[in-house]
Amino acid sequence: MRRLASGGDIDRNRPLTFRFDGRRYQGYAGDTLASALLAAGVDVIGRSFKYHRPRGILSAGVEETNAIVQVTAPFEEPNVRATMLPLVDGLDARSVNCWPGRRFDVGALNGLLAPLIPAGFYYKTFLWRRWDFYARYIRRMAGLGKTPAVAEPGRYERVHHHVDVLIIGAGAAGLAAALAAARSGARTMLLDDGVAPGGQLLSGGAQIDGAGAANWIGAVTAELDGLDNATRLARTVATGVYDHNLVIAVEEAPEQSWVRERLWHIRAARVVLASGAVERPLVFPDNDRPGVMLAGAATAYVKRFAVAPGWRAVYFTNNASAYAGAAALHDAGIEVAAVIDSRADPGAEIELACSRGIEVRTAHAVVGVDGRSRVRRAMVAPLRGGRPAPVDADLLGVSGGFNPLVHLYSHTGARPVYDDRLAAFVPGDMPPTLDVAGAARGIFDTAGVIKDGFRAGADAVHSLGLERPEIDAPPVDDGPSFAIEPLWTVKGGRGKAFVDYQNDVTLDDIALAHRENFRSIEHIKRYTTAGMATDQGKTGNPNVIGAVAELAGATAGETGTTTFRPPYRPVSFGVIGGMERGQLIIPARTTPITAWNKAHGAAMNEAGANFRRPFYYPRPGESMADAVRREALAVRNGVGIYDGTPLGKFELHGRDVPVLLELVYTNRWHDLAVGRGRYGLMLREDGRLLDDGVTFRLDDDRYLMSCGTGAAFTVLTHLERALQTEWRHLKVFVINVSAQWANLCVCGPRAREVLAAVGTDIDLSPTFRFMDFRRGRVAGVEARVARVSYTGELSFEVNVRRRHAREVWEALMAAGAAWDITPIGSETSGVLRIEKGFVAPGIEGDNITNADDAGMSWIVDMSKKDFIGRRSLERDRKLGGERQHVVGLLPDDPAFVVAEGSALLQSGDHADTPNFQGHVTASCFSPTLDRPIALALLKNGHHRHGERVVVSGLQRTVGAEVTRPVFYDPTGARMRA
Amino acid sequence: MLLIPCPWCGACNENEFICGGESDRKRPTDPAAVDDKTWTDYLYNSTNHKGMTGEWWWHVHGCGKWFTIRRDTVTHCIESAPGDQT
């Protein structure tokens, strides 16, 4: 056991039981999984990504790169940082990336093969043609964590929030900034990824206002919590800063137990980034052995969790900060064997060691580590060369300096700059609405950090027009000031020296990339994958840059840094999806008839605009083909009915509606009489098909336009865009009434009888002509009845208000029973359409098809001076060339329906011949003609009627005859009946 | 996500809008009178200007109005273009 007898922020009265790799352990409330595992003496937490080397805990925070675990209880979650996971009773976690177990792992053989798998190995070896073969093995060997096998049972939610000032990070700088902002009255929000606020203050030794830092933290948070305009969130990580200060943050396990994670969309007028800095390791052989730990993390485990990360420590540092750590461990009763300082001449900090009798070796370095699954000895040699001497130790605290966490700053597109004094990348130019404060800005002394926090908070509110608050910074008693002499790499020694633990990138890999002439740091990053793991190079990146700089004979500043992108740390898919999962991803739209359809056994299918429509209505024992045949023949010979409610419907009001119609349709509209309708074709400005539909004139200045279900939104956009941008002088209102009016279409030779039987005051005699529109009552309900036909038969479209639709539908079904009225599905409508050769712009049109190609020149009136698409169509006609035209196809095999999408080839060509002639756009078995038919786009098709083509599908290749795209009632006599 | 200043509703999230492209390109008043090059330039060639650019936006999930803004395509700084909003 490595638990210290006293101290720490843990609650020794609340022991918690947890499991790791199946074994039971005990920790306390207040522990993280990492601190509890350390206390239990578990050294190896997992295996590394590529070489499967044993790895222990490196850090005590979000930067952790080694201790990644798979949590299996209380819920399954991969890719969890053990250092950020608060311990709960019953927690069950597993190590990752090892098989059969973390102590003996077959993949560790990769370590022996290491010379064969250098950087760029994948690119060089697994050429793409063979990738699918290798992938199976590589994916099993590599990868941190497994996708849970069961559906995620947890609930997630999303919150949108607006604030004046958002402060990210509740360490010394963030607390100060939040206090300054909140005191001024600004709406203030403070996020922190930890359970408790305080950041580095929690494990540092600074005295604030004459007392421990905890007092100051407590006073500031108490004041913030008492202010209505301040909000504080714990365990909340800002994962990205996006345009115009949109900050995305993930709150883990909020108070409400039913929410697992909450996604915050925070729009902040000002952002203060107070994310602090993380320590980086030093690069020396075998610097990844369990027991090698960041110096500051060792202090944190002792002070916050009362855990001795080892009983005999050696420190290896290139800066002043490690001495305080050595002193803290010594004072906690842990033996500190030596501080190895690469600097020849340390400053006043050396007193911290000397006064405690800790040996200091200056101008020395650790050049190797003994022990595989735990540090046993550090090999120490003078920097200028010489025989390494062993120093016994089970803990090697390392400090290579500090990396300000500039990730979120970089998300704005700003570039960090190198600071020689700190040997670190710090923020450069500040974006106008984001500021960086404290250690994230490169200020490492507590007094300076608090002062800078107050400054940033005051600046933020001042820039928003509020008074600067009066705040006196408290007196701070801190340790020795920070000083560093960079030591990017340790020369000599054997064994791998890691610059990126998580992706197993070594100094040799960087050297190889350099030898292969990679120069840009961005290229070296991608070639070696350094900094590309889930930790985003938080600890290792500067070491990569430093190593590259040494190889190139440049400075770290000249080498430059890579680009940090969101997310700052991995984000679960669950929280991204939020409530939008299952049926709620894209909620299906319904009509008033949907429930009736389902109750009557309709097979439902996806239609346009997220509607579900009946596909067909199978009777017991019927196949789909049987049902479609029965329904189609009912419409041709008797009467059918369908629910056309999903169609787009727009009322156009205003004196200039005819002008608008002349613009958006290709034909004439000025002469349309009240009570009459007309079919129209809409083109895009580039002359291609947009949509078609029928528009009726209801009154002098009121029109009703209908359009395809899927095209409704496009048409609305088209109309509004025309009216509000180019033709703003037109007096027209467009009112979308798609959801207000239900549309019940009675179609077939017996339609007139059915309508008469259901009861209507509308005169149904032949004076009610095709394309007429009449108002009246149908089945006792106010209705608008139009004679239009999408089936090619006599049809009455009964439009009633949505709330009456179900009763009118049922009345029509009852009245039509005498003629065996048959509800038809969308598949049957499609068959009837193909038989009639009605071109559907969204099906026959392929975004290149123009009005002529579709065989619709008859409706294009080029004598009009202007309409949308006219100029482009004119140009198409002038250019000529070989275009694809809509044709009909009569496949040879009377029993085989060619597949939609099949390629058309010239007769005699083989399927491999690169002589593509077009494709099948719609295909069906025609019950009326009792044979398969199809519509297609065919090169030069208008001039090829009677020719033969080959239809090449995935299943079969058959011959077909090209015909006019009309198979039934070419004169349209039936629908005009 | 950009914050788009709708002249009617105030600043709203970009996903309430549809961008209608550059507002400085005007449809020729008499398309039949212009040559093919002028016409295809209007149809297909955006200026893709680096810097302040006029843009149409449609507040489709809001008030339904089309309006123009000036947006710096590098910094995303946005200026409203009042007087162009009727």
User: pLDDT grade, residue A518 (50/70/90)?
Assistant: very high
**A523 and B CB contact within 8 Å:** no
**A619 and B CB contact within 8 Å:** no
Nearest-Å Rg of the Cα atoms of chain B is 14
Of A678, A709, A736, the last residue of a domain is A736
B-chain residues within 8 Å CB-CB of A159? none
User: pLDDT grade, residue A257 (50/70/90)?
Assistant: low
Which among A242, A685, A866 has CB closest to B32?
Answer: A866
A102 and A203 housed in the same domain: no
Q: Tell me whether residues A728 and B56 touch, CB distance under 8 A.
A: no
A688 and A611 housed in the same domain: no
Residue A753 lies in a domain: yes
A437 and A522 housed in the same domain: no
Which among A243, A720, A724 has CB closest to B76?
Answer: A243
Q: Tell me whether residues B58 and A871 touch, CB distance under 8 A.
A: no
Q: Tell me whether residues A866 and B64 touch, CB distance under 8 A.
A: no
Query: How far is A474 from A490, CA to CA, in rounded Å?
Result: 41
Residue with tokens 């420590």: A313
Residue A225 dihedral angles phi and psi, to the nearest 5°: -65, -20
Closest chain B residue to the Cα of A876, Cα to Cα: B36
Residue A854 lies in a domain: no
pLDDT in tens, A9-38: 999 999 999 999 999 999 999 999 999 999
Q: Tell me whether residues A717 and B64 touch, CB distance under 8 A.
A: no
Q: Tell me whether residues A875 and B60 touch, CB distance under 8 A.
A: no
Which among B1, B23, B26 has CB closest to A246?
Answer: B1
Contact B51, B73 (CB under 8 A): yes
Res A588: pLDDT: 92
Nearest-Å Rg of the Cα atoms of chain A is 37
Chain A: closest CA distance from residue B58 (Å): 8
A244, A271, A848, best to mutate vs chain B, most B CBs in 10 Å: A244
pLDDT in tens, A595-643: 999 999 999 998 888 999 999 999 999 999 999 999 999 999 999 999 9
Res A79: pLDDT: 87
A708 and A764 housed in the same domain: no
**B65 and A CB contact within 8 Å:** yes
**A724 and B CB contact within 8 Å:** yes
Chain A: closest CA distance from residue B17 (Å): 12
Residue A573 lies in a domain: no
Q: Is the pLDDT of residue A889 over 70?
A: yes
Total of domains in chain A: 7
**B3 and A CB contact within 8 Å:** yes
Residue B8 lies in a domain: yes
A-chain residues within 8 Å CB-CB of B34? 871
**A875 and B CB contact within 8 Å:** yes
Residue with tokens 């499609």: A830
pLDDT in tens, A360-416: 999 999 999 999 999 999 999 999 988 999 999 999 999 999 999 999 999 999 999
Of A704, A736, A768, the last residue of a domain is A736
Residue A417 dihedral angles phi and psi, to the nearest 5°: -120, 155
What percentage of chain A has pLDDT greater than the value 70?
Answer: 94
Residue B48 lies in a domain: yes
**A861 and B CB contact within 8 Å:** no
Q: How far is CA A87 from CA A37, A82, A296, B14, in A?
A: 10, 9, 21, 40
A289 and A273 housed in the same domain: no
Q: Which domain holds residue A384?
A: 281-400
Total of domains in chain B: 1
Q: Tell me whether residues A728 and B60 touch, CB distance under 8 A.
A: no
Q: Is the link from the previous residue into A567 a cis peptide, with omega within 30 of 0?
A: yes
The CATH number of whichever domain residue A678 belongs to comes to 3.30.70.1400
Query: How far is A52 from A99, CA to CA, in rounded Å?
Result: 10
DSSP string, A633-668: HHHHHS-EEEE-TTSEEEEEESTTHHHHHHHHBSS-
A99 and A231 housed in the same domain: no
A941 and A958 housed in the same domain: yes
Q: Which residues numbered 67-86 in B keep a CB inside 8 Å of some CB on A?
A: 76, 86
Contact A173, A449 (CB under 8 A): yes
**B60 and A CB contact within 8 Å:** yes
Q: Which residues numbered 30-49 in B keep a CB inside 8 Å of some CB on A?
A: 30-32, 34, 36, 39-40, 43
Q: Tell me whether residues B64 and A720 touch, CB distance under 8 A.
A: yes
Residues A289-297, mean pLDDT to the nearest whole number: 97
Q: Tell me whether residues B20 and A721 touch, CB distance under 8 A.
A: yes
A14 and A78 housed in the same domain: yes
Q: Tell me whether residues A728 and B86 touch, CB distance under 8 A.
A: yes
A611 and A693 housed in the same domain: no
DSSP string, A922-938: EEEEETTTTEEEEEEEE
Enter the tokens of residue A629. 């045949």
**B25 and A CB contact within 8 Å:** no
Chain B: closest CA distance from residue A236 (Å): 21
A671 and A795 housed in the same domain: no
B26, B66, B69, best to mutate vs chain A, most A CBs in 10 Å: B66
pLDDT in tens, A905-931: 988 777 666 788 999 999 999 999 999
Residues A881-894, mean pLDDT to the nearest whole number: 96
Residue A578 lies in a domain: no
Query: How far is A654 from A531, CA to CA, in rounded Å?
Result: 62
**B9 and A CB contact within 8 Å:** no
B-chain residues within 8 Å CB-CB of A242? 1
Residues 6+ apart with CB under 8 A from A738: A646, A647, A648, A649, A650, A712
User: pLDDT grade, residue B86 (50/70/90)?
Assistant: very low
Give the pTM: 0.89
**CA angle, B36 as apex, B35 and B39 as ends, to 5°?**
90
Chain B: closest CA distance from residue A247 (Å): 10
**A872 and B CB contact within 8 Å:** yes
The CATH number of whichever domain residue A32 belongs to comes to 3.10.20.440
Chain B: closest CA distance from residue A728 (Å): 9
Q: Tell me whether residues B86 and A871 touch, CB distance under 8 A.
A: no
Q: Tell me whether residues B39 and A875 touch, CB distance under 8 A.
A: yes
User: In 3D, which of A125, A145, A138, A237 has the Cα closest to residue A191?
Assistant: A237
**B63 and A CB contact within 8 Å:** no
Residue B31 lies in a domain: yes
What is this model's ipTM? 0.95
Beta bridge partners of residue A932, listed in sequence order: A925
Q: Is the pLDDT of residue A141 over 70?
A: no
- Here the contacts of B66-69 (C-beta below 8 Å, separation 24 or greater) are B66/A720, B66/A721, B66/A724, B66/A725, B66/B20, B67/B6, B67/B7, B67/B8, B68/B23, B69/B4, B69/B5
Q: Tell me whether residues A874 and B32 touch, CB distance under 8 A.
A: yes
Q: Is A229 helix (H, G, I), strand (E, B) or coil?
A: coil
Chain A: closest CA distance from residue B47 (Å): 18
A850: DSSP letter: B
Of A718, A736, A754, the last residue of a domain is A736
Q: Is the pLDDT of residue A887 over 80?
A: yes
Residue B85 lies in a domain: no
Which among B39, B58, B60 has CB closest to A871?
Answer: B39
Residue A66 lies in a domain: yes
CA distance from start to end of chain A: 95
**A729 and B CB contact within 8 Å:** no
B-chain residues within 8 Å CB-CB of A863? none
Residues A197-207, mean pLDDT to the nearest whole number: 92
Res A725: pLDDT: 94
The CATH number of whichever domain residue A167 belongs to comes to 3.50.50.60
A480: DSSP letter: S
Q: Tell me whether residues B66 and A267 touch, CB distance under 8 A.
A: no
Q: What does pLDDT average to over chain B?
A: 90
Scanning A7-54, the segments in alpha helix (DSSP H) are: 33-39
A167 and A263 housed in the same domain: yes
The CATH number of whichever domain residue A895 belongs to comes to 2.40.30.110
The CATH number of whichever domain residue B13 belongs to comes to 3.30.2270.10
pLDDT in tens, A848-872: 999 999 999 999 999 999 999 999 9
Q: What does pLDDT average to over chain A?
A: 93
Residues A295-319, mean pLDDT to the nearest whole number: 97
More confident residue, A56 or A143: A56
Residue B86 lies in a domain: no
pLDDT in tens, B43-78: 999 889 899 999 999 999 999 999 999 999 999 999
Q: Which domain holds residue B66?
A: 3-80
A260 and A409 housed in the same domain: yes
User: pLDDT grade, residue A118 (50/70/90)?
Assistant: low
Residue A143 lies in a domain: no
Residue B37 lies in a domain: yes
Q: Is A971 helix (H, G, I), strand (E, B) or coil?
A: coil
Q: Is the pLDDT of residue B80 over 80?
A: no
The CATH number of whichever domain residue A539 belongs to comes to 1.10.10.1100
pLDDT in tens, A773-800: 999 999 999 999 999 999 999 999 999 9
Residues A528-554, mean pLDDT to the nearest whole number: 91
Q: Is the pLDDT of residue A835 over 80?
A: yes
Across the A:B interface, residue pairs with CB atoms under 8 Å apart total: 55
Residue A2 lies in a domain: no
Q: Is the pLDDT of residue A191 over 80?
A: yes
